[in-house]
Chain A
Amino acid sequence: MNHWIGNNILTFLIFAPLFWGLLLLALPNKLSLFTKYLALIGSLGIFVIAAMRLLPLEPNNEGVMFSELAPMFTLLNIPVEYHLSLDGLNLWLVLLTAFLVPISIAGAWNSVKDRSGSFFALFILLECAMLGALLARDLFLFYIFWEAMLIPMYFLIGVWGGPERKYAANKFMIFTLAGSLLWLVALLYLAVNAQSFSPGDMAQKVINMPFSAQCWLYLAFALAFAIKVPLFPLHTWLPDAHTEAPTAGSAILAGVLLKMGGYGFLRFAIPILPAAALHYAKHFAILALIAIIYGALVAMAQKDIKKLVAYSSVSHMGFVMLGIASFTVIGAQGAMMQMLSHGVSTGALFLLVGMLYDRAHTRMITDFGGVASRMPIFTFFFIVVTLSSIGLPLTNGFIGEFLVLNGTFVSGFSWGRVVAVIASSGILLGAVYMLWMVKRVFWGPENASPGSGTAHLTADLNVREIAVMTPLVVLIFWMGLHHITFTGASEPCVTRLLEDAEAPPPARALFFNTPDQTQKDTQQDTQQDTQQGAQ
C-alpha cells in the first residue's frame, strides 16, 4: 500500500479526497455528527502524506519532480491522456491547498449547523477537484477538474450561504461558466489542430498560426483565467460569492480557487500562446493596475467587514496579474509569492471574520467598536494578519508586492516604470482600508448600544480557534523571513517559462519537455527542421 502511494502519489492526492468525500456523502444521517471529525482526519491525513511525499522530491533536468502518464481515451480521434505532473510551479500550491482544507474545516467547526454532514463531504470533494486542476497537465483533464471545482462550490454557497446565497451562487456559477465556455471552444480548436490535448503539442502548432488567430485564442484562455483571478472588470462575482459563502467556503475560495486563475496563466496561457501573451502584456498590466487601486478604493467604501476583505482580494490579486504581465523572473516570482501569501493571509482573515460573526451575528463595522477590550487574543491574531495583509516587511505580504513592483519596474516595457510607480500606491491604500477598519472595529470605547456586535462578544478565542490560527501566523512570518522555502522551487520553472516565451519561435516550447521521451524527441526534430528551414 505504502509502495503504491509512493509510486502514484499524484493520483493518490486526487482520488483519496474523491473516495473520502463520497464515503462521507454516503454516511447515514444518524452518523452525520461524525462527518466533520472524519473530514478533518481525512484532510489532515492527506496533507501529512502530501507534505511527507512531495517535499523530498527532487526536480529532474526539466524541473519536473514527479509525473504520471497513461492513455485514457480518444475524443474526436484525439487522444486524451491521464497526465499529472508536479514541478516547482504547482508544488507549493498543492501543499497550500492540502493545508488550507483541514484548517478551514477546523475553523468552521461549529459554524455549520444544518446538514453539516453533506457540507463537509462536499468540502472534501472540492479538494479533489482543486488538486486535480493543479496537477493535471493534459488540457482536457485540466478542463474537467477546472469545471468540477464549480459544482461543490456552487452548493457550498447556495445551500449554506448567507441571505443572498441564491443570487451569489448563480452569479458565481454563470459568470465562471460563461468564461470557460469560450475557453473550451479555443481549447477544442487548438486540440483539433494539434491532434492532441498536450500543451506542448499545442504550443508547437501555435507557432505556425497567423498572429491574429493566436491573439483570439489567447483572449479566450485569458478570459477564463481572468474571471477566476478575478481581474477588473470581471470581479463582481467575487464580493457576492465571498460575502455569502460560509466561512470555510470563503477561506478556500480566497485561499485556493482564485489562485487557479494566476496558475492558469503561468501554466497554460503564456506557454501555449507566448507571442499573444507578450502582445497583450500591456493591456493586462493596466487592468491589473486598475484592479489594485480600484479594489482598494472600493474596499474603503464597504460597511461589511467580509465584503471589505473580499474587495481587498481584488486589489491583492491585481498584484499577481501585474507580476505575471511584467514578464520578468522577479515579477513572476513575486506573483507566485503573492498567490501563496494571499492564500494564507486572506484565508486567515476570512476565518477570523467568521469567528467574529459566530459570536456577534453581525459583520457591520458600525456594530462594533472596542472589540480589543473584549477579545484580546482575537485582536492579537487579527492585527498580525492585518499587518501581513498590508504588506509589512518580515511578513509574507511584503515579499510578494515588493518583488512584483520591482519586477514591473525593471521589465523593460515602456509602461513598466510608470505602472510600477502608480501600483505602489496600493501599499498605501491597503493600509488605509485595513487599518481604518481595525480602528473602527477594535479600538476606541466599547460600542455600548444594546444590540451592538460588541455586546455579544462574551468569549475570547477558544483552544480550537487558537490552534487553527497559530499555524497560519507561523506561516505568515515564515514566508516573510524565508520566502525561498516557498518560491525556491518555482524559480527555475518560471525562468525557463519566461525565456521560452520571449525567445524566437524555433527555440520555444522547451518548457514542455517532459520525461515523456517520444514527445521530447519529436519536438527536437521539429526544432531542427525549423532551424534548417531557416538556414
Chain B
Amino acid sequence: MSDIYYWMIPLLPLLGAAINGLLGKRFGKTFTSAVALGSVLGSLVLAIIAFVLMKAAPGQRLEICADTWINAGSLSVPFGLVFDPLSGLMSLVVTGIGFLIHIYSVGYMGKEEGYARYFSYLNLFIFFMLTLVLGSSLPLVFVGWEGVGLCSYLLIGYYYKTDYAPGAGLKAFLTNRVGDLGMVIGMMTLFAAFGTLTIGDILVHAGGLSPEAGFGVLTFATLMVFIGAAGKSAQIPLYIWLPDAMAGPTPVSALIHAATMVTSGIVLLCRLAPLFQLAPITMNAVAWVGAATAIFAATIGLLQRDIKKVLAYSTVSQLGYMFLGLGAAGFAAGFFHVFTHAWFKALLFLGAGSVITAMHHEQDLFKMGGLKEKMPITFWTMLIATLCIIGFPGTSGFASKDEILYLAFLKSPVLWVIGVLGACCTAFYMLRLLTLAFWGKPRDIHAFRHARESHATMTAPLVVLAVGSILAVGLGWPEAFGGSFAIGKFLSPSIAHGQIDAHAAHHGSHGLAWGLALISTIIVLGAAWFGWKTYKDGLTIAEARASRMSGLHKILFNKYYVDEAIERLILAPVRCFGQFLFKRVDVTVIDGVGINLPAALTRMAGDFVTLLQTGRVRNYILTMGLGTAALIWLFLK
C-alpha cells in the first residue's frame, strides 16, 4: 500500500468535515450522512488493511514520512505517521467505534437543527483523534491532542443557544489547556534533553540512558507529560470538565467523552512507556493519582440523579483504573482496559441516549422506571455493558480490571484496597442506574406512556457494541485463569520497544491471583446486589437512608464542592488580579504617574512660564535688571 493510502486514514474524515461544513447545509441530510459515514468507513477499511500489513511488516512497525512541518535551527519535526500494534489497534477502535456512533447519530440527531454542522465536527474529531494516535512525533501528537480538545469544545457547545452548554465547552477547553501546558513544557524538556521530538528517536535515546544519567530531567519531563495526560483523561484535579461535558449530544459523550478522546492520555503514556519506566517517581504519581481518581469519582457517582452524570463520573473513575494499571507498570493491562472500556462505556452512553430519547429528553433517573419491557434491546444490551463494567466474572471488564488490580496489589496492597473499594462503588451505582431506569414502577407516567424502543439506526449499534463488549475478553484473558493475555504480547513491540519489558513480570503466584479475584468478586457482587435491592421498589429506602446520613449525602451529592472551591480559590482571584493590574497598575501607575503626570507637569510649567510673558514693558525691565544683577554678582564673586 503506497504512502498516500496511509495518509488517507486521517485525511478522509478531514475531507468529509470540510465538505459537510461547506456544502452540507445546501445538499440536505442524506448527502451529509453519506459523506460523513462514507469518509469514516473509508478510513476504517484503510485502517484494517494497514493493520494487516503492519502485522506482516518487520518489527511490526511502519513509519511514513512526508514533508517537514516545523524547522528552525536544530528543531525539526516532520509530518509522519507510525503504524505499530498500539497505534494500529487504537486507530481501529477510533474508526470502528467512531463509525458505529456515526450510524447511531443519524438516528439520534435526525430531528436536530445544524445536522451538517454536527457531522462536520464529528468527522473533524475523527481526523484529529487519528492524528493523535498515529502521529510519529510529539508535536504532531499535540496537533491531535489540541484538535480533539477543540472538537470537544465545539461539540459540548453544540447547543450553543442554551445558557449552560457554551460554559461547559469553555470549561472543558480551558481545563484541557492546563494539561496542554504540561505537554508543552514536557516537550521542551525532552527536546532540550534529546535534541529531537520524534517519539521513536526519543525512545531510542532514552533506552541508552543509564537510570542515573537523566534521572532528574526524565522525572520532570514525564511528570509534565502526565499532567497533560491527566487533563485530557480527566484525572484529579483536572477531571472537573468531564461531568459538565455531558451538555453535548449523547453520541458525542459516547465517542469523545467515554470511548476515545478521554483515553488519549493513557495511549500517550503507553507510547512513551520506556521513558516512564525510567522515572519511578512519575510511575508512583501515576498509580496514586489514578487510584485516588478511581475511588473519588466513584463515590460522587453513587448519588447523581442525571443518568449521563452517573456515567460521566463512572468514566472518570474507570480512567483512574487505567492510570492505576499504567503506574503499576502494567502498560498492556492499562491499555487493555482502554480497549474493553471503549466498547462497554460507549454502549452504556448510547443506551442512555436511547432511554433519554424515549423519555422525551428526560435525563433524571428519579423520573424514569419500568422501561424494561418497553425497550428490550436497550435493556438487554445495557445489562451486558453493566455486567462488564462491574467486573462480573467472565466478562471483558472482569479480565481487564482484574489484571490491573492484581498488578496494583504487587505494587502496593493499599492500591489494591482502594481499587476494590472503587469497584464496589461502581457495582452499586451501575445497578442503581439500571434499576432506576428499567425496573420498578414508572415515576413519570406521561413520559412512560410515550416511551418506545428506538429506531434501528440506534439499536443496531447497541447490538454490535454489546457483541464487541463480550468478545473483547478474548484479547486478554489473564494468564492466572488459564488465558494467555494475548494483548500483552501483541503490544510488546510498541510498549517495550525492543529494550525494556514493560509488561510487569508476574512475580506473584497464580494462587495469589485467584485469591485476590475471589475476594474482589465477592465484594463487588455484594455491592451490586445491595444497589439492586435498595432501588428495586422505588426511592423510599434510599430516601430514608439519605436523611439518616444527610451530611455525607450532601457532600457527595454536591460533588465535594470542588467546582465551588475552584471558583473561589482560583478563578475569582485571577479575575480580580486582572482587574487590579488594569485599574491600578496600567491606568493609575503607568499611565497616571508615568505618563499623564509628567505631561501635566510639563503643561503646568508651560502655564507658569506663560505668566511671565505679561506683555508689560516694566515687568521685562525688572526681569532684565534682576538678571543683569545676578550675572554681575556671579562674575564678581
B394 within 8 Å of A (CB atoms): no
Contact of A444 with B177 in the complex, beta carbons under 8 Å: no
A257 within 8 Å of B (CB atoms): no
B419 within 8 Å of A (CB atoms): no
Scan residues 419-458 of chain A and give those whose CB is less than 8 A from a CB of chain B. 420-421, 424-425, 427-428, 431-432, 435-436, 439, 442-446
A373 within 8 Å of B (CB atoms): yes
Contact of A406 with B586 in the complex, beta carbons under 8 Å: no
Contact of A439 with B170 in the complex, beta carbons under 8 Å: yes
Residue in chain B with minimal CB distance to A299? B578
Contact of B146 with A392 in the complex, beta carbons under 8 Å: yes
- Chain A's interface: helix, strand, loop or mixed, by majority? helix
We find that the number of chain A residues with CB closer than 8 angstroms to chain B is 59
B184 within 8 Å of A (CB atoms): yes
Chain A contacts for B142, CB-based, 8 A? 393
Contact of A393 with B578 in the complex, beta carbons under 8 Å: no
Chain B contacts for A507, CB-based, 8 A? none
| Whole-angstrom CA separation of A443 from B594 in the bound complex | 39
B70 within 8 Å of A (CB atoms): yes
| Whole-angstrom CA separation of A300 from B147 in the bound complex | 24
Residue in chain A with minimal CB distance to B178? A428
Assuming the A-B contacts A399-B70, A428-B177, A431-B177, are A236 and B575 also in contact, with contact meaning beta carbons closer than 8 angstroms in the complex?
no
Contact of A445 with B161 in the complex, beta carbons under 8 Å: yes
Chain A contacts for B157, CB-based, 8 A? 443
Assuming the A-B contacts A233-B594, A432-B174, are A301 and B582 also in contact, with contact meaning beta carbons closer than 8 angstroms in the complex?
yes
Chain A contacts for B72, CB-based, 8 A? 329-330, 333-334, 337, 403, 407, 487, 491
Chain A contacts for B147, CB-based, 8 A? 392-394
Contact of A300 with B578 in the complex, beta carbons under 8 Å: yes
Chain B contacts for A328, CB-based, 8 A? 73
B112 within 8 Å of A (CB atoms): no
Stretch at the interface among A53-61, A105-113, A211-219, A478-486: A478-486
Contact of B586 with A297 in the complex, beta carbons under 8 Å: no
Contact with A along B145-168 (1 / 0, CB 8 A): 011001001000100111101110
Stretch at the interface among B185-193, B250-258, B259-267, B523-531: B185-193
A305 within 8 Å of B (CB atoms): no
Contact of B166 with A443 in the complex, beta carbons under 8 Å: yes
Q: Among B163, B188, B582, point to the contact of A444 (Cβ < 8 A).
A: B163
Enumerate chain B interface residues (CB-CB to A < 8 A). 67-75, 139, 142-143, 146-147, 150, 153, 157, 160-163, 165-167, 169-170, 173-174, 177-178, 180-181, 184-185, 187-189, 191-192, 574-575, 577-579, 581-583, 585-586, 590-591, 594-595, 599
Q: Among B143, B181, B585, B586, point to the contact of A427 (Cβ < 8 A).
A: B181
Q: Among A387, A399, A417, A427, point to the contact of B150 (Cβ < 8 A).
A: A387
A495 within 8 Å of B (CB atoms): yes
A294 within 8 Å of B (CB atoms): yes
Chain A contacts for B187, CB-based, 8 A? 406
A63 within 8 Å of B (CB atoms): no
Chain A contacts for B189, CB-based, 8 A? 409
| Whole-angstrom CA separation of A425 from B585 in the bound complex | 21
| Whole-angstrom CA separation of A114 from B591 in the bound complex | 31
| Whole-angstrom CA separation of A462 from B170 in the bound complex | 29
Contact of B160 with A372 in the complex, beta carbons under 8 Å: yes
A221 within 8 Å of B (CB atoms): no
A402 within 8 Å of B (CB atoms): yes
Q: Among B74, B139, B163, B173, point to the contact of A330 (Cβ < 8 A).
A: B74
Residue in chain A with minimal CB distance to B143? A393
Scan residues 165-179 of chain A and give those whose CB is less than 8 A from a CB of chain B. 171, 174-175
Contact of B191 with A410 in the complex, beta carbons under 8 Å: yes
Residue in chain B with minimal CB distance to A394? B143
Chain B contacts for A51, CB-based, 8 A? none
Enumerate the 6 nearest inter-chain pairs by beta-carbon distance, A residue then B residue, closest first: A443-B166, A329-B73, A333-B72, A301-B578, A300-B578, A393-B143
Which of B68, B150, B169, B583 has the most chain A CB atoms closer than 10 A to its own CB?
B150
Chain B contacts for A399, CB-based, 8 A? 70
A125 within 8 Å of B (CB atoms): no
Assuming the A-B contacts A175-B595, A392-B150, are A373 and B185 also in contact, with contact meaning beta carbons closer than 8 angstroms in the complex?
no
Chain B contacts for A300, CB-based, 8 A? 574-575, 578
5 A–B contact pairs at CB < 8 A?
A: A294-B585, A330-B73, A443-B161, A444-B160, A444-B163
Contact of B191 with A436 in the complex, beta carbons under 8 Å: no
Contact of A301 with B184 in the complex, beta carbons under 8 Å: no
| Whole-angstrom CA separation of A427 from B176 in the bound complex | 12
Contact of B161 with A427 in the complex, beta carbons under 8 Å: no
Chain B contacts for A236, CB-based, 8 A? 586, 590-591, 594-595
Q: How many Å from the CB of B143 to the closest CB on chain A?
A: 4
Q: Among A302, A407, A443, A444, point to the contact of B73 (Cβ < 8 A).
A: A407
A224 within 8 Å of B (CB atoms): no
Contact of A424 with B184 in the complex, beta carbons under 8 Å: yes
Contact of B590 with A403 in the complex, beta carbons under 8 Å: no
| Whole-angstrom CA separation of A409 from B68 in the bound complex | 22
Assuming the A-B contacts A405-B184, A424-B181, A431-B177, are A439 and B70 also in contact, with contact meaning beta carbons closer than 8 angstroms in the complex?
no
Contact of B188 with A302 in the complex, beta carbons under 8 Å: no
Residue in chain A with minimal CB distance to B575? A300
Q: How many Å from the CB of B178 to the closest CB on chain A?
A: 6
| Whole-angstrom CA separation of A406 from B160 in the bound complex | 37
Chain B contacts for A417, CB-based, 8 A? 192
Residue in chain B with minimal CB distance to A424? B184
A199 within 8 Å of B (CB atoms): no
